[in-house]
Amino acid sequence: MPNKNEFDVIVIGGGITGAGTARDCAMRGLRVLLIERHDIATGATGRNHGLLHSGARYAVKDSESAEECIRENKILRRIAANCVEDTGGLFITLPEDEESGYGLDYQAKFLEACNKAGIEARAISPREAIEMEPSVNPSLIGAVVVPDGSVDPFRLCSANVTDAVLHGAKVLVYTEFLDFIREGDTILGVKVLDTRSGQTAEYRAAVTVNAAGIWGHGVAAKAGVNIGMYPAKGALLVFGHRVNNVVINRCRKSADGDILVPGDSVTVIGTTSTKVPFEECDHMEVTPEEVKLLLREGCALCPSLASTRILRAYAGVRPLVADDSDPTGRSISRGIVCLDHEARDGVKGFVSITGGKLMTYRLMAELATDAVCRKLGVNKSCTTAQTPLPGSMDGRIENVSKRFEGKPTAGQKGAAGRQGDMVGKILFETEADKQLVCECENVTLAEIKYAVRELGVSNLEDLRRRTRVGMGTCQGTLCIGKAAKALAEALGKPELAGKLAADYLDERWKGMRAVGWGDTLREMEFMQRVYKYQKPFSYDEV
Amino acid sequence: MKFDVIIIGGGLAGMTAATELQKSGLKCAVVAEGLSLHNTSRKEFAEAGGTLLAGDRVVSGKLSSGKLLSVRTEKLGDVELEAADFVLASGKYFSRGIVADMDKVYEPLFGLDVEYDADRSAWFDASFAAPQKFLEFGVKICNCHALKDGEEIINLFPAGEVLAGISCAQGDATDRIRSSAMDAVSAIRRK
């Protein structure tokens, strides 16, 4: 009988890169273990714009990245239809861009570069741009339409994990990598800590893949390998409703706060780029300076942002990697970095996959899996570019919704939008199941039960990443008591409700504190009033 | 239009003060945005003969040598509502009795002196359940009078959550709000 602690490959990191790699490895028939110290999509994966890049942003400076992006853009629309929204995108030129050398001459250069990279781009008049996206800055002097979109990174990551499991992978969340098991120059596996039970365990595999994002620096160091990484913090703001329906970019050299992305019920502006120390990566706080900068640049794209309530602020860390070919370590590789540490450092059984971006996660996973297969002597080719993810099989939500008896309710429509063809597994058995728990995002009790049953949820943050519960305009103010009760009951631990709610509120509070003035502060006072003074659930027992 | 007392705000503090004052024979008017108006207190005030300007809000006031002479409302436009005394019961952030922007906290109607911490990082505690300093901010008073640039406005009496030190998160908030309203009532009666 095979040892349950033995695998062909261990993947460290439950972000999109690790999830994609686990899926690809499992689809090629490997026995896979994925370990993640928190929950899936808790690092940079869940802390970005959620932009489905067309690649246009890179077209002028970096044609290779641009071509990579548009290829993956087309693939994701196919395999992850349920995670992608085809909003289209605009690159706008403002009068002040003329003065800084990014006027209409630059637009012509931009168009040419896009078309050369295979990105369908066409210039439209300012009037057409305003008709297409009424919230755009009306003083624009030019606009280019590109095939940008938005992508839900939580859903995308969850779909990859789900599919990996369907293909036999074992996924352990809340399992922290402690150290390698090593014999001479060969990595034999990993020692881990179950952060919930406090138990340690050992798992062995012929190959271990480091897909831990910025934390991969520390993972590699444990193997005695140095990857020159730069943590680059990016701050973003979420606005209280969907201000724009089309992605708005600034047509100039990439700068801070020049992309505005609509996603589900909100709009996100970002981002900044600041080098931060490694110690800060676990405790990101958005500063007032970053907020000011994002607001200023955001208002240039879309003036109505000035009077729109900011829901919250958040920040992620990009895992930028120093180019191995540059001995000074100063030049940064923006592309995908796949390192076979046997060839590079003489450490056997160890591969790192890093750099890259959300958009190219599938390609990163393919490259990492190719490297794993070479090491294992497995000759199977990658099929992830052709095989749709769970939830995206039917493609069209209209088809999925037909499975409901009669006219689907708002909650059922919401569930179909989020879970795609997986919605068939959500059981609307009683009237209570159909009741909405989260009214901003239309999440029903049935969907919460499904997430607990099928998607590995153990707290409200996990639930939020899989169902969007509490992510809407009220930030959980009006639903978290209900959601905590429903989750605690679904978990079979009703006594946990108060603790679940308190932890969730602390997390929401963190995002609101950074933007705590104006209408956000009004909301914060309201939140305090609801939970402290009126005490809808027994907060005192927390 | 002329009243003995105009009460700005129809929440718990405003309606408590208004009903008490009206019952003691003063001619009162309450200007209140609908939402916060409690049916029972509204009825009691109306039965005592008070004037209710519901669904309206004060937009400006005329101050002269340490006194508030009159206020204007959104709906009545140019009409000046005069009174001998005024109660400011406009609440805190949610009802916009107090407004915070990125750099400061202020009282939007009259620019009254507000007690707050200039260091924004001190406004919040990381734990949602812990006491939050921003909820303690509010207008300052001296002898129950509002202050502007350190000088007392001798006929403007703040009450309820607009005051520094009173917040919705306090367990005994209702008692504190009522008692601040009664303080304003006593001060007006003494005059």
Q: Among A405, A236, A387, which residue's Cα sits nearest to residue A318?
A: A236
Residues of B in contact with A502 (CB under 8 A): 128-129
Asked if the C-beta of A518 comes within 8 angstroms of chain B's C-beta atoms, the answer is yes
Give Cα separations from A271 to A284, A293, A313, A388 (angstroms).
14, 9, 11, 30
- Distance from A283 to chain B by nearest Cα, in Å? 12
Contact B126 A532 (CB under 8 A): no
Q: Give the nearest partner residue to B124 out of A292, A505, A516, using CB atoms.
A: A516
Q: Using omega within 30 degrees of 0 as the cis cutoff, is the peptide bond preceding A271 cis?
A: yes
Contact A522 B94 (CB under 8 A): yes
Residue A395 vs residue A200, higher pLDDT: A200
Looking at residues A182-187, what average pLDDT do you find? Answer: 97
pLDDT higher than threshold 70 for residue A229 = yes
Closest residue, chain A, to B136 (C-alpha):
A525
- Distance from A366 to chain B by nearest Cα, in Å? 41
Asked if the C-beta of A312 comes within 8 angstroms of chain B's C-beta atoms, the answer is no
Q: Among A282, A208, A236, A286, which residue's Cα sits nearest to residue A50?
A: A236
Contact B168 A528 (CB under 8 A): yes
In this predicted model, what pLDDT tens digit does every residue of A79-101 receive, in sequence order? 999 899 999 999 999 999 999 99
Q: Give the nearest partner residue to B168 out of A509, A529, A539, using CB atoms.
A: A529
Contact A516 B134 (CB under 8 A): yes
Asked if the C-beta of A509 comes within 8 angstroms of chain B's C-beta atoms, the answer is yes
The full set of domain ranges for chain A reads 6-44+154-228+329-376, 84-150+230-321, 397-541
Return all residues near B175 (Cβ < 8 A) that are at least 6 apart. Answer: none
Give the Cα separation of A11 and B187 in Å (integer).
72
pLDDT higher than threshold 70 for residue A394 = no
Contact B100 A508 (CB under 8 A): no
Closest residue, chain A, to B119 (C-alpha):
A288
- What is the pLDDT, as a whole number, of residue A218? 96
Q: Are B62 and A252 in contact (CB under 8 A)?
A: no
pLDDT in tens, chain B (191 residues): 899 999 999 999 999 999 999 999 999 999 998 655 677 888 899 999 999 998 999 999 999 999 999 999 999 999 999 999 999 999 999 999 999 998 899 999 999 999 999 998 899 999 999 999 999 999 999 999 999 999 999 999 999 999 999 998 888 889 999 999 999 999 999 98
- Number of H-type helices and E-type strands within chain A: 18, 23
Closest residue, chain A, to B174 (C-alpha):
A533
Q: Are B191 and B85 in contact (CB under 8 A)?
A: yes
Confidence of residue A170 (pLDDT cuts 50, 70, 90): very high
User: How many CB atoms sit inside 10 A of residue A197's CB?
Assistant: 10
Structure tokens that stand for A39 in this block: 């929950």
Residues of B in contact with A526 (CB under 8 A): 94
Q: Give the nearest partner residue to A505 out of B92, B102, B128, using CB atoms.
A: B128
Return all residues near A141 (Cβ < 8 A) that are at least 6 apart. Answer: A93, A94, A95, A97, A98, A103, A104, A126
Instruction: Give me the CATH topology for the region A84-150+230-321.
Output: D-Amino Acid Oxidase; Chain A, domain 2 (3.30.9)
Q: What is the CATH number of domain A6-44+154-228+329-376?
A: 3.50.50.60
In this predicted model, what pLDDT tens digit does every residue of B24-78 receive, in sequence order? 999 999 999 865 567 788 889 999 999 999 899 999 999 999 999 999 999 999 9
Confidence of residue A162 (pLDDT cuts 50, 70, 90): very high
Contact B168 A510 (CB under 8 A): no
Provide the number of structural domains found in chain B.
Answer: 1
Residues of A in contact with B132 (CB under 8 A): 524, 528
Q: Among A357, A387, A381, A355, which residue's Cα sits nearest to residue A369?
A: A381
The identity of residue A88, as a single letter, is G
- Going by the DSSP 8-state scheme, the letter that residue A527 receives in this structure is H
Residues of B in contact with A506 (CB under 8 A): 126-129
- What is the pLDDT, as a whole number, of residue A538? 47
Instruction: Transcribe B95-118 into DSSP letters.
Output: TTSSEE-SS-EE-TTT---EE--S
User: In this structure, what CATH number is given to the domain that contains residue B6?
Assistant: 3.50.50.60
In this predicted model, what pLDDT tens digit does every residue of A454-508 receive, in sequence order? 998 999 999 999 999 998 888 899 999 999 999 999 999 999 999 999 999 999 9
Contact B94 A502 (CB under 8 A): no
Contact A522 B96 (CB under 8 A): yes
CA torsion angle for A419, A421, A427, A431 (degrees, to 10)? Answer: 70
Q: Give the nearest partner residue to A506 out of B120, B128, B169, using CB atoms.
A: B128
Contacting A with CB below 8 Å, chain B residues are 92-94, 96, 99-102, 120, 123-124, 126-129, 132, 134-135, 167-171, 173
Determine the structural domain holding residue B146 and report its residue range.
2-190
pLDDT higher than threshold 70 for residue A400 = no
**Burial, A6: exposed, middle or buried (Cβ in 10 Å; 0-12, 13-18, 19+)?**
middle
Contact A531 B101 (CB under 8 A): no
Q: Give the nearest partner residue to A528 out of B102, B126, B135, using CB atoms.
A: B135
Mean pLDDT of chain A: 92
Inter-chain Cβ pairs, chain A and chain B, closer than 8 A: 70
Q: Which residues of B100-137 are buried (b: 16+ CB within 10 A; e: fewer)?
A: beeeebbbebbebbbebeeebeebbeeebbeebebbbb
The identity of residue A208, as a single letter, is T
Closest residue, chain A, to B126 (C-alpha):
A510
Contact B169 A521 (CB under 8 A): no
